[in-house]
Structure 1
Amino acid sequence: MLTIGELASYAGVTVRAVRHYHAKGLLPEPERDHSGYRRYGAGAVVELIRIRTLAGAGVPLARVRDLLQADDAEFAAAVADIDERLRAEIRERQRHRERIARLASGDSLALPPEVVEFLDRLRSLGVDERIVEVERDGWIPLAARSPERVPEWVARKRQQIAEPQLIDFYLTLGRALDRTDDDPRLAELADKLADYITRMADEQGEKYVDDADIEPLFAKLMDALAFDTAPPARRLIELLKERGWTGWTKLERVDPTRAVNGTAARRSRGRRNGGVSNGLCHPPGDCLP
């Protein structure tokens, strides 16, 4: 008769594994000696090796008992089913490995491949890395919220950056990041951008530039991300509003006359309050001496 340790040694498992198989009902409890210790016969060694072999092959313990009791046909069918499940798991793990490999590039985190390719294209065109970060940070919540629309949006972006005028916008905005809000080149950029947006709206339709499916609150969140990364963008949007358009993520037509009056009123309040309006500087830079 064998002790539990000897049984485990002969079968090539640990004592803990033997106890676990007992607890799961896979290995029958043996008789005990007068001291209360388990004592096993040769049949237990054979049974334990069969359990170990099935478990080692990836068979779930919940199915091991059925396989131990199955006839040849049932055993073959069960093994085929388990093999297919393991193949599916291997394919899924391979996909995980591919995703992990893509994470070597920071852009790949939480972004689909087509967006990563678009960001790389911006870099190859010489766009400032901070502007690329604005794009990246905007794509992350967009892709998470509406993954089914990413291919459509990326295709539109690719079409847009094929135009020299829009690439010039990206490059100019990148150079503006290190300038003050009153830099006249921001106004020039707003003129060019307003002309471009108006032309696109006239040629392609309003929906091409104003995606109605983006909720205003979500667009506001996206705008905040852009403004935090590229502060001059806030001033640019204010200038753009004076030219008939507003919004960074969700573009909308506005009355430029009302926009100019609103901007003047905010600046007037800011000057009366020593450069502070409602606890904020409108626009950024107005609080500077």
Structure 2
Amino acid sequence: MLTIGQVAAHAGVTVRAVRHYHQFGLLAEPERDASGYRRYDAQAVVDLIRIKTLADAGVPLARIDELLHAGPEQFAAAVADIDRSLRRKIRDLENYRRRIAELAAGERLFLPAEVVAILDRLRATGYSEQMVRIERDSWILIAALSPRSVPEWVAVKHAALDDPLFQRLYRTCDEALGWTADDPRLAQLAADIVAWNSLRPEHGPAQPGTVDLMFSHATAASPAWQRLAVLLAAEPRPCRRTGSCGRRWSDRRASASTSTPSGAGRWVGGSTRGG
């Protein structure tokens, strides 16, 4: 007769594993002897070896008892089912490894390559990291909520970044992150933004609410940007080629609440919805 330590050693498992198999109902618990110790026989060693072999092969503990008592056909069917389950787990683990590897790529984990190129361009041009983060988060919202808009908005943003006047305005928006809400320069910035947007054509809509969510996220970054949003909403809109003149941005948003305000793809992470 064997002690629990001896039977564990013969089977190549730990004493803790033996107790675990007892609790799981895989290995019968022998009666205690007069000294209060459990004594195991050779059959316990055989059973432990079979349990360990199945466990080492990846069989879930919940299915080991089924296999221990299965006939040849049932055993083969159960093994095939377990194999399919293991293959699924392997695929999942491989996907996890790929995603973990992509973490090293930073923004590429969350955004398509063409959007990451915009962020890289902003960094290379000297915009602050805070501005780039706001831009990134806005693009994450677009990609998740209005993915069909991304290609057009990317093209529009690159075209805007090619414009020296836009770059000057956008850089001023970047600087304005650190201004106070009562900075007198905000009024002129709002007027300049509206004037610049009025000369550009409108572009495609996003899903309802996408721009509102982007806008609220962006303006939360700075009290000055919140004030700029108020000024933009009150700013009369100059005439553009469409013939729409003099309407305030707040009126225009009310009449087009389910579509993207013009110019949003140009500004994206900036403090204005377009114009």
Using structure 2 for the length normalisation, give the TM-score: 0.71
**Matching residue's letter, 1:158:** V
Determine helix, strand or coil for the equivalent of 2:34.
coil
Query: 1:224 deviation in Å?
Result: 3.4
- Note the residue ranges of structure 1 that are not aligned, 5 or more in a row: 246-252, 260-289
Query: 1:21 deviation in Å?
Result: 0.8
Mapping of 1:71-220 within 5 angstroms?
71-108=71-108, 111=110, 113-114=111-112, 117-124=114-121, 126=124, 128=127, 129-141=129-141, 146=145, 149-150=146-147, 152-164=148-160, 168=164, 171-176=167-172, 177-178=174-175, 181-182=184-185, 184=188, 187-196=191-200, 199-200=201-202, 208-209=204-205, 211=206, 213-214=208-209, 219=212
Determine helix, strand or coil for the equivalent of 2:130.
helix
**Matching residue's letter, 2:77:** A
**Are the equivalent residues in 1 in contact too, given 2:118–2:158 (CA < 8 A)?**
no
Alignment-derived partner of residue 256 in structure 1? 248
2: distance between equivalents of 1:38 and 1:102?
A: 53
Alignment-derived partner of residue 244 in structure 1? 237
**Matching residue's letter, 2:121:** S
Query: 1:73 deviation in Å?
Result: 2.0
**Are the equivalent residues in 1 in contact too, given 2:108–2:116 (CA < 8 A)?**
no
Query: 1:99 deviation in Å?
Result: 1.6
1: distance between equivalents of 2:10 and 2:169?
A: 74
2: distance between equivalents of 1:76 and 1:47?
A: 19
**Are the equivalent residues in 2 in contact too, given 1:161–1:167 (CA < 8 A)?**
no
Query: 1:17 deviation in Å?
Result: 1.0
Query: 1:107 deviation in Å?
Result: 2.7
**Are the equivalent residues in 2 in contact too, given 1:241–1:254 (CA < 8 A)?**
no
Query: 1:143 deviation in Å?
Result: 5.4
Structure 1 residue corresponding to 2:216, chosen from 224, 229, 244: 224
Query: 1:97 deviation in Å?
Result: 1.7
2: distance between equivalents of 1:15 and 1:226?
A: 59
**Matching residue's letter, 1:229:** A
1: distance between equivalents of 2:198 and 2:157?
A: 16
Query: 1:68 deviation in Å?
Result: 0.5
2: distance between equivalents of 1:97 and 1:124?
A: 29
Pair 258,13 (structure 1): closer, same or farther in 2 beyond 3 Å? closer
Alignment-derived partner of residue 36 in structure 2? 36
Q: Deviations over 1:130-156 (max 9, x none)?
A: 332222222445556x3xx32x13222
Pair 23,164 (structure 1): closer, same or farther in 2 beyond 3 Å? closer
**Matching residue's letter, 1:242:** E
Identity %: 42
Query: 1:50 deviation in Å?
Result: 0.8
Pair 96,234 (structure 1): closer, same or farther in 2 beyond 3 Å? same
2: distance between equivalents of 1:71 and 1:257?
A: 77
- Note the residue ranges of structure 2 that are not aligned, 5 or more in a row: 177-182, 239-244, 252-275
2: distance between equivalents of 1:86 and 1:14?
A: 25
Query: 1:60 deviation in Å?
Result: 1.1
Pair 108,170 (structure 1): closer, same or farther in 2 beyond 3 Å? farther
Query: 1:181 deviation in Å?
Result: 5.0
Query: 1:236 deviation in Å?
Result: 5.1
Pair 19,187 (structure 1): closer, same or farther in 2 beyond 3 Å? same
**Matching residue's letter, 2:214:** M
Q: Deviations over 1:156-184 (max 9, x none)?
A: 22231242477657623442032665275
**Are the equivalent residues in 2 in contact too, given 1:134–1:230 (CA < 8 A)?**
no
2: distance between equivalents of 1:68 and 1:4?
A: 21
Tell me how many residue pairs correspond in the alignment: 233
